[in-house]
Amino acid sequence: MMERNMPDPHDLELIQADFDKAEEYVLPASFVPGKWDVICQRGKECFEHVGNRRFRMAIDNHLDSYMKVKSRQQKSKIVTSIVEGIKKSAGCNGGGFIRKDLLTRRWFRVSDKLAREKVGQVRLLA
């Protein structure tokens, strides 16, 4: 009987991490976060950034409808509408949900997966 080689779960996590990273996009060196950009990092400066305040207001505006719906699919649609709304508002400056690489000091747009997680974090704090 031939034994199947099962992938190591740790390897699968690394592959998923590489896939998520591939969705990220490095922004131009001259990029400065705008009033519609959501900074996905910790700290008072990020928390108080105007884009992050607008983001929390957008979540507050959707919270009632989110709590009323029962299915995960409906909840997912609300999260998607928040993420897409932020990305659309950020518009042509290329931002949206962003993070600064502390080594290179460059800004990059994060993956949609991370943006959705950010919505979930804020929703839990509401």
Find where tokens 């740790």 sit: 10
Q: Return the H-helix or E-strand segment holding 39.
A: strand 38-39
Paired tokens of 104: 């290179």
Q: Whole-model pTM?
A: 0.76
Q: What is the pLDDT of residue 97?
A: 96
Q: Which of 44, 47, 113, 106 is nearest to 76 (CA)?
A: 113
List b or e across 70-80, with b for residues whose CB sees 16 or more CB atoms inside 10 angstroms.
Answer: eeeeebeebbe
Tell me the pLDDT tens digit for each residue of 47-68.
Answer: 999 999 999 999 999 999 999 9
Q: Is the pLDDT of residue 30 over 90?
A: yes
